[in-house]
Amino acid sequence: MLIESDGEALALGFDERHPTGERTYSMYANTTHDTHRATDTATAETAYFSLRGMHTRACESFLETLATDIDGVRDAAASYSAETVRVTYDPGRVDTDAIADGLSRWGYRASAPSPDATDEDRSALAFDRVRTAFAIIVVAPVYMLYLVFFYPVYLGLYPDAYLDTHAIVVGLYGPVVLFTTITVFGVGFPIFRSAYISLRERQLTLDVLIALSALATYAYSVLSLAFFDKAYLSFDVAMTIIVVATIANYVRAADEQRTVADLAERLDGSQSRATRLADGGTETLPVDDCEAGDTLLVKPGEHVPFDGRVLDGRGAVDESLVTGEARPQRKVPGDGVVGGSIAIDGAFEVRVGDGATSLLDRLRALVWDLQATQTNAARLTSRIARRYVPLVSALAVVTFAGWLLAGATVDTALLTGLSVLVVACPVALALAGPLALGRGLATAADQGVAVLDRTLLERIIDIDIVAFDKTGTLTTGELRVTGVTALGEREELLARAAAVESHSGHPIAAAIDERATAIGDVDEFEHHRYGVSATVEGSRTAVGNPTLFNELGWEIPETVRSRVAKIRTAGELPAVVGWDGAATGVVALADTPREGWTKVVERLAADGRRVVCITGDDPQVAARFEASAIDEVFADVAPEAKEGIVQELGAEGTVAMVGDGTNDAPALAAADVGVAMLAGSDFTATAADALLTSDDLDSFVDCLAIARGTRRRLVENLALALSVPVVGTMLAVAGVVTPVVASALLVVGTLLVVFNSRRSLAGDDS
């Protein structure tokens, strides 16, 4: 089969989530129309840009304004979580380079997107690392000067006149002011920019209070140096605020990139290579190295590497893992084929066209979902910020006014008000949610769970019903032949079955192929609801469930029926084989139960969750899974009916669906939480919220424990982040806490959150 793209990214119903939470058809600049935004003509194109330098959600509306101010840009949507901007533009008036240049202002850096850790990503993080290291290096000499000269005076060890000599003024104040100015306004530029943008967009974020605290402390110190008696200079405090906030932002960014890079590494390996036809032979190469005009070979059971159109040949493809369509789709010349769909029968030749979207692009796009989703913890932090910022600011003003009215000097009143601002600086609060979630995601990855949706650890705790697919989930999915009954020649029966099944991707094919060698030419292969059929050496041959033979109107001798009944009673799977209108034998196959599945089910049931099993096997074969801990087994379920069952279960409670990927994509998408076995099919991940990468069901139960531990860790972090400022603020209002002590409390509160987040989640799942 020859497949060629016509130059456009063929969506064919692929419903891909983009970073802002809406749905579109492509992650990259292409000619696909944006169906969610009205455009003037059909020539609009959509492009995505990675944006480094976003610090708050206020950056979203600001960047959208920057983008739409560019001539030729019709619309823009930004995502702070994914650090991405989607732009709809007129290619006749502006190109992507000009848009990137227009967005690269105010300290932002726009570049072409990639969900992997690209050179741009690494350089951006490296720049943040250098900036953080620079801040630490610059602040060190200032603290040394404070330790040697200022703090002894403040503590009464030296007289105030110690700081007034000409040598001290020239050699001490100059470097302190210089280094502080560089740190506050150089290193702290992203924080001040974020605060400005937040106020410009009429949003109160934590960066506003951080910037206000640092700026107020710096301004007081400069004024005190110039006009007051230099009794108390808080340059060290201003530097501490900026340096602690900078380090905190770097830790958070590094944590998030580490999580994303780990997921990309787990997902990228298995389907990252393609087979190219060249010079009468084949060569294997990375999918990313494929170019327009290349012809790729796709064998039965493999994924079609790129979107395209059928030019020659006929066959069936399974698009369920991409489009959600459960039934195999027959393809004839002129039909479109989706990158990521599975070739069920026949070997395909795929010609890569201009602008074709690869299945690897779609796999990598999953990483964007991890970055793009806003968690409940993030929304909670935003709500707290909207109240916390004005409350603290007002309290600082009231404290200043109160002390003035009480007869204090302006200098003392300012110091007291500044102490309130500093001790309430919300650096720790900004870290509480991201670090708790990052620890949960990292722990889940270590336990064999790759989380594709940030909100999973928040949602999975509330699951009421767990629905397991049987084959490939509760079982290993690896069938083996346990017996053969033939009315004629046993070897001929197996050889014919192997010939038909050689064009099928079903596990039965692999099991029979191990026992026999296919014979003759195979033509007119066809998939049926209960099996497959083809013409082998001129005779129509069928392999499948007895129901298939009833539907075809073929005879099933009593001997075969009796054997089928015995196979089912033994809990095994019967595959009837026949040709020329009659069944001539039956092959018994067994599917090995996955080790430890009963304990997993029992653990879920012990937590008060209802557990069900969904299978396409008939009730007799499925009966062995009616364990005491499984409430119900749905047997003889057609692939397309699994979704309906999940929806029905959803009316009774919150549902988690666990499947291996064989016709499970619609059911996974229909569930409140979809979990896929990565070993079963990597591309069920397009519909899943998480992947079990360890091929072990225990990791699913572990994920529930990790989610509970993450929630507990979040609560602990919020308590630590708020308790230190609350207690410190009360003391600061009373005049007990000076700016220096306040900055120390700021550091302590931040370190407590960081260290608490780094602790193991073991023991936090109760």
For the cut 90, the answer to whether the pLDDT of residue 760 exceeds it is no
For the cut 80, the answer to whether the pLDDT of residue 407 exceeds it is yes
Share of residues in the chain with pLDDT > 70 (%): 74
For the cut 90, the answer to whether the pLDDT of residue 610 exceeds it is yes
Rounded-to-integer distance, Cα 559 and Cα 432, Å: 69
* pLDDT number for residue 12: 28
Q: Quickly count: other Cβ atoms within 10 Å of residue 404's Cβ.
A: 16
pLDDT higher at 375 or 692: 692
Closest to 611 in 3D by CA, of 624, 590, 628 = 628
Average pLDDT over residues 567-582: 89
201-215, 300-314, 484-498, 653-667: which has the minimum mean pLDDT? Answer: 300-314
Rounded-to-integer distance, Cα 241 and Cα 152, Å: 22
Average pLDDT over residues 563-573: 86
Closest to 369 in 3D by CA, of 23, 82, 44 = 82
Burial of 534 (0-12, 13-18, 19+ CB in 10 A): buried
Rounded-to-integer distance, Cα 605 and Cα 468, Å: 13
Look up residue 264 and give its amino acid.
A
Q: Find the helix or strand (DSSP H, E) in which 597 lies.
A: helix 597-606
* pLDDT number for residue 310: 67
Alpha helices in 406-545 (DSSP H): 410-423, 427-446, 456-459, 490-501, 507-513
User: Annotated catalytic sites, by residue?
Assistant: 469
Write the DSSP assignment of 286-299 as a string of letters: EGGG--TT-EEEE-
What average pLDDT does the chain have? 77
Rounded-to-integer distance, Cα 153 and Cα 166, Å: 17
pTM over 0.75, yes/no: no
* pLDDT number for residue 426: 85
Q: Model confidence at 26, in pLDDT bands (50, 70, 90)?
A: very low
Q: Where are the beta strands (DSSP E) in 32-136?
A: 45-52, 73-79, 84-89, 109-111
* pLDDT number for residue 541: 94
Average pLDDT over residues 643-648: 89
* pLDDT number for residue 588: 92
For the cut 70, the answer to whether the pLDDT of residue 759 exceeds it is yes
Helix/strand/coil percentages in the chain, nearest 5? 50, 20, 30
Q: Model confidence at 382, in pLDDT bands (50, 70, 90)?
A: confident
**In the structure, how many helices (H) and strands (E) does the chain have?**
25, 29
Average pLDDT over residues 587-608: 89
Share of residues in the chain with pLDDT > 90 (%): 18
Rounded-to-integer distance, Cα 192 and Cα 180, Å: 15
pLDDT higher at 726 or 638: 726
Question: DSSP 3-state assignment of 344?
Answer: coil
Q: Model confidence at 344, in pLDDT bands (50, 70, 90)?
A: low
